[in-house]
Amino acid sequence: MKKLKTELRFFSISAWKKEEKYLRDQHKNGWEFIGVNGLCLYHFQKCEPKDMVYQLDYNPDSTSQQSEYIQMFRDCGWEYLQNYVGYSYFRKAASEMDGTEEEIFCDDASRLDMMKRVFIGRMIPLLSIFLLVIIPQIIMQSRINDPFNHSLMVFFCILFVLYLGIFISFAIPFWKYYKAVHKK
C-alpha cells in the first residue's frame, strides 16, 4: 500500500480557509500533511484517519523571533509544522478542543490583522508592479505601431487581467471580513 502521496494544489492569497479545510479533509481521510514546497506540491503520509484542525497564520516576520513565536502556539496546544511563503502551518486534534471550533486567533480583530499583514506583504508588491510596470507598458505599446509591439501589448493586457483578478479575489473577502468585524 502506498504510504506517501503528493498532490499539486494552488490556493490564492486569500484562500487560507480553503487550504485549512483541504488539509483537515485529507487527515480525516487518512493522509497526514507533512509539507508543501515551492511548486505548490502538498506532501502527505498515510496515517490513521483522525479529525485534525489545521490553521495558517501569515507572519513573515516570525523568522526573526521564530522560537518565541512557535512556543506561543505550542503553549496553546498547537503543533507547528512549517513556514511556507510567509504562512506558518499549525495543527491540533479536534478532540483536544473545548467543543468549539477553536482557532489560533482569539478574536476577529486578530484575524483582520493577519489579513492586513497579507495585504502589506503580498498585495502592495503586486500593486506596485501593476502600477509601475504593467499599466505604463500597455500605454507605451499602444502608441507604437509595430507587429512585435502588438504582441507585447497582448501580453501586458493578459497580465493586466490576471493582476486584476488577483486583486479582486483578495479584495472581496477582505472587504466582507472587514465589514463583518466593524459591524460588531
Domain positions in the chain: 4-96, 108-183
Task: Give the tens place of pLDDT for each residue, 42-54.
Answer: 999 999 999 999 9
- The pLDDT-based confidence of 1 (bands split at 50, 70, 90) is low
Q: Who has greater pLDDT, 17 or 136? A: 136
Residue of 49, 35, 30 whose CA lies nearest to 7: 35
Residue 184 has pLDDT above 70, yes or no: no
Q: Who has greater pLDDT, 63 or 4? A: 4
User: Which DSSP string do the residues of 86-120 spell out, in sequence order?
Assistant: TEEEEEEEGGGS-SS---SSSSHHHHHHHHHHHII
- The pLDDT-based confidence of 36 (bands split at 50, 70, 90) is very high
- Residues 17, 103: contact at Cβ < 8 Å? no
- Return the pLDDT at 124: 83
Residue of 161, 33, 167 whose CA lies nearest to 9: 33
Q: Round the average pLDDT of the chain to a whole number and report it.
A: 85
If you average pLDDT over each of 1-15, 107-121, 154-168, which comes out highest? Answer: 154-168
Instruction: Give the span between the Cα atoms of 46 and 60, in whole angstroms.
Output: 30
Q: What is the mean predicted confidence (pLDDT) over 132-136?
A: 92
If you average pLDDT over each of 110-114, 141-145, 147-151, 156-160, which comes out highest? Answer: 156-160
Residue 140 has pLDDT above 70, yes or no: yes
